[in-house]
Structure formats: C-alpha cells, structure tokens
Amino acid sequence: MGNINNKEELISKHNKYIMPSVHVSYKEPLCIKKGEGEYLYDLDGKKYLDFYTGIMVIVSGHCNKKVTDAVSAQIKELQHSTSFFINIPVVELAEKLAKITPGKLQQSFFVNSGSEAVEGAINLAQIYTGKDTVIGLQHGYHGRTLLTKTLTAISVWREGQTNISNIRYTPNAYCYRCNFNSSPDRCDMACARYLEEVIQTQTKGEIACVVAETIQGVGGLIFPPKDYFKIIAEITKKYGGLLIIDEVQCGMGRTGNMFAIEHYDVEPDIIAMAKGLANGFPIGVFISTEEIASCFYGPSVSTFGGNPVSCAAASANLDYIFENKTIENSKKIGRLFEEQLMLLKEKYKIIGDVRGKGLFWGIELVKDLKTKEPASEETEEILQYCKDEGLLIGECGDYFHVLRLGPPLNISEEKAYEGIKILDKAISKLNFK
Ligand SMILES: Cc1ncc(COP(=O)(O)O)c(C=O)c1O
C-alpha cells in the first residue's frame, strides 16, 4: 500500500488529492485491496461477493488467471507502441473482433475508454455521411467527454457544459414508464416511430447518426421490446444516417449473447465497446464496415489506443469466454436470476419492475406501485445493507432508484443464490420498518 497505512488515512488523502466530482459510493467508502474470482476484499480483509463487477467490467472474474498470464507475458515483451507502429496484440484482437461482431463489421479503431469509443464512432459517422446532426435516446448514457456528456440524456450526469449544438433526442422504450401512456398489450411502438418526427421537426431532414445503447445501463436497465431497433434502424437509414450501437456496458456476453443487439435482429453500422472487453484493463474500440471505415484516411492517431498490454488482456479474455462457455453460463444463471427476482417482486411492494437478460438485471424501486414515485433513499439503504452483509450491487436510474446487478459471467449457481438471498434479506429489513 506504499506509504499509506490504514483506511482512515487513505480516505482522508483521497478527499484531499482527488477532485470531489469523482463520485464514491456508500456513506463509508469501500476501500478495495484485492480481487479474486467473484470476490473483492477490502483493506480490513472483509470479503464481498461482487454483483457489480466494477460497473460491468469484470466479466471473467477478478484477476482471471488466463488474462493475468497473458498480461504478465506481454508486459515483459512490449508495454507501449502508439498507433504509429504496428504491434501483434492489436492486430490479433482486431481480427477476433471482426469474427465475433454481427454483420459486416470488420475494421476497428482502438482507444482508451467507452467515452472515446462512442465519440470516435460519431466522428466517423459524420465524416462518412458529410452531415453533423446526431440523435441520442432519452435516458441514454455515453460518457464524460463534452460530446458524449451532451449526448447523455440523464440530468444528473450532465453537470457542467453540455453545449454541443447539433444533438437531438428521441424517446427510448421505457415500457414501465411509457412516454406514450401505452402498455405492452396495446403498444404500437410509438416511441420508436417518433424518431421520424424528431428528424422532420428538429433537423434539416438529414442526419449523421442515431446513437443508442441496446440496453440502457446507467439510465436504469431499460430493455426495449423486440421491434424497437428494427424501426429505429429503418428510419435512420431512410434519412441517410448510420446506426451506432453503444455496447460499452451491455456487450461482451452480459445479456446472454456476445452483443445485446443480437437479440434484436438488427445490423448496426458501428458498434462501440469498452468495459468488459479486457476484463479490467483500459481499452475502448469502435468497429465498422470496410466501406464506412474507408471514408476516413485521417491522419488520426491514439497514443495509447491499441496498447499491447490491454489488447493482450482483451484477446485472452475473449479466449477465456469461448473456452469456458461463459456466455452460455450467463444465459443459464440468468434464468435463475429471473425466477428468483420475480419471486422477490411478488413478495415486496417496493419492487415496481424487474428487468433483465443473462446477467444484467435491474430492479426498479418505487414508494408506491400506483404513483411509481422513485424510492431513492430506500435504494441507498438496500445498497448499504447489502454491503454490510458482504454483497456489492450497483444503483442506476434518473433518481438512483434502480438496483443494478451484474455478476461475472462465470458465476456459479450457488453464489448466485447466495447473493440473491442477501438482497432478499436487505429488502425485508426495509419493509419491516
Ligand atoms: C453505455 C456506456 N457508454 C459509454 C460509457 C463511458 O465509458 P467510460 O466511462 O469508459 O468512458 C459508459 C460508462 O458507464 C456506458 O455505460
């Protein structure tokens, strides 16, 4: 731990030397020392079952041996290259991504984060189409650069300048709180079709792209119905734009497919990824078709993009996912989550909605089932109780009122039950107050 000797000193120096805008969870911050498989350990050696995985990053478990071995070998061979020189891990990874992404996506541009991947994808779409208007979805989250923060449509994450002028927003498919007062049994997908209205009334009738998370993570684990993206893709194409799918959070096997968009029978023009790709090593990438990519000969560069260590980690992580069939496991354990979380919904009236697929689950908490008033304080209490009992889960949604669950894809049935049991206990405590 270098020259820092205890938790109190660590927190006090964090407060002194790290900017306060860096959000820290829990009243008493969690200070992490070690990760192993599905567990994290704090400075006092207390063990936590990790159902949050560093915001959906650790898809293959903490300090996964295959990834660690690949990184250790690479670190001794070559640690940095820049995109001006070609290194083996970046090309090997690009080839793997071309094989696993849907449709004709073939050529990658490597960067360092999800924000950068989305921003790079938008830039490519603008160059390809020669247009500059970008349309995002309500409740979308895309990052913290000026462009991706402006594109983000969740107030709490937009603080500071959000003044890029060529951005418009179209409704997402938030069925639990439908903007169009519809319900699944009589839904005519007005939310998806509204995109045409946005283009006709708020643009000159020409767009560069529509950018959408397949499943909105930070927005509250919002899963659109089956036809949503087909309609969005058709309208986007009709007006000359590209469809950019942001899989930064929901990709890499989390929903039971390698990419969540594969649940929707739609071929995006560009996919942005990051988070789970390298199981904890910093990386971002956007991938597109050869035709689209070849409209931009640059020059463009990323000093750290395509870093050989991060790329070696990502390659090993993908190999691990396939060799161990962890996407199949995510589907299988996902069914257990569905069954168990639906039981919790029946049991507790604070649970307004349960949504998920694979190992990506949201539990929307409301003070009243009729008014659907968000239960933010209660969400906070549940998170705190779970932490005390040794379970880490996340929160999301406009009002931090949705519990976000995303364990590693290789979690066992036993650990899945163990975590859900703690969650059950946490909600029951709250209900007895
Ligand atoms: C869907 C989505 N896109 C983009 C980002 C930004 O990624 P990063 O924090 O790596 O810049 C995030 C981060 O949470 C995200 O969830």
360 and 371 assigned to the same domain: yes
- One-character DSSP codes across 189-237: -HHHHHHHHHHHHHSSS--SEEEEESSBTTTT-B---TTHHHHHHHHHH
CA distance 367 to 369: 7
Domain count, the chain: 2
- Give just the sign of the alpha carbon dihedral 314, 316, 322, 326: negative
Q: Look at residue 5 in the predicted model and tell me its pLDDT.
A: 78
162 and 306 assigned to the same domain: yes
0.85 surpassed by pTM? yes
The reply to whether 97 falls in a domain is yes
Of 270, 292, 323, which residue sits at a domain end? 323
The reply to whether 2 falls in a domain is no
Q: Look at residue 405 in the predicted model and tell me its pLDDT.
A: 98
Smallest Cα–Cα separation from 385: which of 410, 415, 422? 422
Q: Look at residue 431 in the predicted model and tell me its pLDDT.
A: 66
292 and 375 assigned to the same domain: no
Ligand 1 atom nearest residue 55's Cα? 14
- Give just the sign of the alpha carbon dihedral 360, 232, 203, 172: negative
Q: Which domain does 360 fall in, by range?
A: 7-60+325-431
The reply to whether 402 falls in a domain is yes
240 and 384 assigned to the same domain: no
The reply to whether 1 falls in a domain is no
CA distance 96 to 81: 20
Ligand 1 site-directed mutation target among 57, 142, 216, 223, most atoms within 8 Å of CB: 142
- Give just the sign of the alpha carbon dihedral 191, 258, 53, 353: positive
Q: Look at residue 171 in the predicted model and tell me its pLDDT.
A: 98
Q: Look at residue 157 in the predicted model and tell me its pLDDT.
A: 95
The reply to whether 207 falls in a domain is yes
The reply to whether 129 falls in a domain is yes
Q: Look at residue 329 in the predicted model and tell me its pLDDT.
A: 98
Q: Look at residue 26 in the predicted model and tell me its pLDDT.
A: 93
304 and 370 assigned to the same domain: no
Distance (angstroms) between ligand 1 centre and the Cα of 359 equals 18
Ligand 1 site-directed mutation target among 248, 252, 302, most atoms within 8 Å of CB: 248
What's the average pLDDT block by block, 10 residues per block, for the chain (433 residues)?
Answer: 83 95 92 97 96 98 98 98 95 98 97 98 98 98 97 95 93 97 93 98 97 98 97 98 98 98 97 98 98 94 96 98 98 98 96 98 97 97 97 97 98 98 95 54
Per residue, what are the HEC states of 228-278?
HHHHHHHHHHHCCCEEEEECCCCCCCCCCCCCHHHHCCCCCCEEEECHHHH
CATH number for 353: 3.90.1150.10
Please give the structure tokens belonging to residue 231: 């309609």
Of 261, 289, 323, which residue sits at a domain end? 323
Residue 181 DSSP label: S
The reply to whether 391 falls in a domain is yes
CATH number for 77: 3.40.640.10
The reply to whether 28 falls in a domain is yes
Smallest Cα–Cα separation from 360: which of 59, 138, 113? 59
